[in-house]
Chains A and B, each alone.
Chain A
């Protein structure tokens, strides 16, 4: 992505090609890269949220709460996965500005990332057994 933008700048000044697609391509690459990092961050519990209440709970209620939140999170990403697939299928009738390219590939970033996030939250649930903060303490060491 960095390369693509540099290429855009160089193209404009050295090659005088005026390649307008570099901007669009850079955007799609960035979205792919950022969305692929979402499951990664989900596994490491890096998605930020408030901890005012859960900090004050004792162990059992806290684990129950985290278990429920994980399930809800899985539901959301499962939803994004399913409807992201629908969007990706529709994307074949939509054209990007880049000549000859449909929106299938850019759109596919959503279901792929959502599907992986479901798996990663599941993996994190198994690992933590409902104790997110144990995981946090461990990662701070």
Chain B
């Protein structure tokens, strides 16, 4: 175990690609158990790690973003957003946060949000004069709103695993999701002057707003169409991503006539390359994750952690620390399946409401998607935008601190999560 940890951290630090490092660390672990069969396991896990329907939304959203960029839809949208809020300092950054809330209704996973916005809003923000690491950080911070506001893949897994009402969890996620948006916008406002965030010279103008609205109408109704498709039961959230591609392609090719066949080939290649980078990481991480499961490492760490105190407040703090830590090394779906059955009974023992505990556990794991070394949202953004992980991470710090503070607030103030579910009678 120590050898695997040394190899993992050592290789990451000296700059080995993360997708290679995870695989090498995982294979080292399996080699230590010994036996040829365990090495075939490595290849199997590499494949099976990708063999999940929920991952399919991500490449679709990247592709939809590519199409929107090349056909000029993104530019039109950014111009409209600029007309609306550009006279405010950091207007586009605020729009990014609000867009995450709208997008949350369409996706159940944070990586989809990071993929869609990393490929559209980040370039638009950079064009407006934002620094690229900051644009990535805003997008990463907003991406966890997606799985906090329903629908949410992790909530479905948690609800059926732990016997907690999924509808109750969905309802409980709404206020925390909005709170993340509001407080991150507060962070943007607070940083605005110090980072000298862009602000357009022109004041608010109704004419520009109407003009912008007209020219980007087709793009604005895109989320309406997709959300409508999900809510009216025509498609599932994963399939909605495919609809997004179809719609963007239709607008780009038929209406704007901005895409040639050559463009489409180029976009497919770029989407495949980005997907390849992210999927290598997911596949390799599932080798390491399986080894950790097989050796029952998360459970051992949890047992050791939780034997340290019996004070309810300390236990909550330890649970949060544990989830954030494990989320740094494991895919969060796997981490949830392994740790929820260990942690949930503890939260019940100290008198937490099961829905409240579920939201806390899920949010902690989602926040770990933004923390290095293994943070899927971070990787997606780095890969989509070409920005360095360490520079995005530095810009993320104020947002991360805010979101951890929200997590603590949620953990110790149950009314915040339970208000809406109680209103609805769960």
Number of interface residues of B (CB under 8 A): 54
Q: Pick the residue among B56, B272, B389 that contacts A50 (CB under 8 A).
A: B389
- With contacts A34-B276, A87-B44 taken as known, whether A52 is within 8 angstroms of B13 at the C-beta atoms is yes
Cα–Cα, bound, A77→B204 (Å): 56
- Whether A34 lies near B379 (C-beta < 8 A) is no
Q: Pick the residue among A34, A69, A73, A83 that contacts B279 (CB under 8 A).
A: A34
Closest 3 CB pairs of A and B: A37-B276, A47-B17, A34-B279
Q: Pick the residue among A26, A65, A76 that contacts B15 (CB under 8 A).
A: A65
Question: Distance (Å) between the CB of B226 and the closest chain A CB?
Answer: 13
Residues 40-66 of chain A: 1 if any B CB is under 8 Å from the residue's CB, otherwise 0? 110010111111111000000000011
- With contacts A2-B242, A2-B245 taken as known, whether A34 is within 8 angstroms of B15 at the C-beta atoms is no
- What are the residues of chain B within 8 A of A140 when measuring CB–CB? 386
- Whether A53 lies near B14 (C-beta < 8 A) is yes
Within 8 Å of chain A (Cβ to Cβ): is B408? Answer: no
Question: Distance (Å) between the CB of A139 and the closest chain B CB?
Answer: 9
- Whether B43 lies near A83 (C-beta < 8 A) is yes
Cα–Cα, bound, A37→B382 (Å): 17
Within 8 Å of chain A (Cβ to Cβ): is B60? Answer: yes
- With contacts A40-B273, A87-B40 taken as known, whether A49 is within 8 angstroms of B24 at the C-beta atoms is no
- What are the residues of chain B within 8 A of A33 when measuring CB–CB? 59, 272, 275
A-B contact pairs, 9 of them (CB 8 A): A37-B272, A38-B19, A38-B280, A47-B17, A48-B383, A49-B16, A53-B15, A54-B14, A76-B23
Interface of A is mostly: helix
- With contacts A41-B276, A54-B14 taken as known, whether A48 is within 8 angstroms of B27 at the C-beta atoms is no
Give chain B's interface residues, CB within 8 Å of chain A.
11-21, 23-24, 27, 39-40, 42-44, 46-47, 50-53, 55-56, 59-60, 63, 234-235, 239, 242-243, 245-246, 272-273, 275-277, 279-280, 283, 372-373, 379, 382-383, 386, 388-390
- What are the residues of chain A within 8 A of B59 when measuring CB–CB? 1, 30, 33-34
Q: Pick the residue among B15, B53, B245 that contacts A69 (CB under 8 A).
A: B15
Number of A-B contacts (CB under 8 A): 160
Question: Distance (Å) between the CB of B248 and the closest chain A CB?
Answer: 11
Number of interface residues of A (CB under 8 A): 49
- What are the residues of chain A within 8 A of B50 when measuring CB–CB? 30-31, 34-35
Residue of B nearest to A31 (CB): B50
Cα–Cα, bound, A84→B11 (Å): 24
Question: Distance (Å) between the CB of B114 and the closest chain A CB?
Answer: 14
Residue of A nearest to B283 (CB): A35
Within 8 Å of chain B (Cβ to Cβ): is A9? Answer: yes
Residue of A nearest to B39 (CB): A83
- With contacts A34-B50, A87-B44 taken as known, whether A79 is within 8 angstroms of B27 at the C-beta atoms is yes
Question: Distance (Å) between the CB of A40 and the closest chain B CB?
Answer: 6
Residue of B nearest to A42 (CB): B17
- What are the residues of chain A within 8 A of B272 when measuring CB–CB? 33-34, 36-37, 40
Question: Distance (Å) between the CB of B216 and the closest chain A CB?
Answer: 24
Cα–Cα, bound, A124→B279 (Å): 21
Residues 60-92 of chain A: 1 if any B CB is under 8 Å from the residue's CB, otherwise 0? 000001100100110010011001101100100
Within 8 Å of chain B (Cβ to Cβ): is A13? Answer: yes
State which residues 107-136 of A face B: CB under 8 Å: 107, 109-111
Question: Distance (Å) between the CB of B58 and the closest chain A CB?
Answer: 10
Cα–Cα, bound, A33→B276 (Å): 8
- What are the residues of chain A within 8 A of B51 when measuring CB–CB? 27, 31, 106
Chain A CB count within 10 A is highest, among B18, B19, B27, for B19
Residue of A nearest to B16 (CB): A69
- With contacts A34-B276, A109-B47 taken as known, whether A50 is within 8 angstroms of B27 at the C-beta atoms is no
- Whether B18 lies near A47 (C-beta < 8 A) is yes
- Whether B24 lies near A51 (C-beta < 8 A) is no
- With contacts A49-B15, A50-B12, A54-B14 taken as known, whether A2 is within 8 angstroms of B60 at the C-beta atoms is yes
Cα–Cα, bound, A111→B40 (Å): 12
Cα–Cα, bound, A66→B279 (Å): 23
Chain B CB count within 10 A is highest, among A35, A48, A76, A140, for A48
Q: Pick the residue among B15, B245, B275, B379 that contacts A54 (CB under 8 A).
A: B15
- Whether A69 lies near B273 (C-beta < 8 A) is no
- Whether B43 lies near A40 (C-beta < 8 A) is no
- Whether B273 lies near A53 (C-beta < 8 A) is no
Q: Pick the residue among A27, A49, A87 that contacts B53 (CB under 8 A).
A: A27
Q: Pick the residue among B19, B63, B234, B372 that contacts A47 (CB under 8 A).
A: B19
- What are the residues of chain A within 8 A of B239 when measuring CB–CB? 5, 8-9
